[in-house]
Amino acid sequence: DDHKDCPLDKDALGRGTWGLLHTMAAAYPEKPTENDRKGVVSFMNLLSNMYPCEYCAKDLRQDLAKDPPDTKNHSAFSLWMCKLHNRVNEKLGKPTFDCSKVDERWRDGPKDGSCG
């Protein structure tokens, strides 16, 4: 349960990590520098070595080798992250997420302003 001070299980770790990853993509610039671009590639590669769920990390390494991060600009990187997450969703039998809504979900919030 996320509300208790317990060590993270695989699902709580996953939710927290996806929150970080999608929020990083939400903040990724429209016109990234070479440094920005190299940074997110290194980050994803390091994550795939360090992620503390061994079989999750192994699949992530294979996935990154097949489909490396698209770091051109904000929308390319956010879409790439959304597709990465959807491949995990599919593997786990979860519904896929509509990637056209990724900025609404992780950057702008809903149009009714309910997220402040």
* Contact set with ligand FAD (CB under 6 A): 10-11, 14-15, 17-18, 22, 55-56, 59-60, 82, 85-86, 88-89, 92, 94, 97, 102, 105
DSSP-assigned letters across all residues of 39-89: HHHHHHHHHHHH-SSHHHHHHHHHHHHHS----SSHHHHHHHHHHHHHHHH
What does DSSP assign to residue 9?
Answer: -
Q: Minimal distance in Å, beta carbon 29 to ligand FAD? A: 19
Q: Minimal distance in Å, beta carbon 38 to ligand FAD? A: 20
- Nearer CB in complex with ligand FAD: 34/54: 54
Q: Minimal distance in Å, beta carbon 50 to ligand FAD? A: 11
State which residue has the least CB distance to ligand FAD: 14
Q: Minimal distance in Å, beta carbon 34 to ligand FAD? A: 25
| Burial 60-93, CB ≥16 within 10 A → b, else e | bbebbeeeebebeebeebbbbbbbbbbeeeeeee
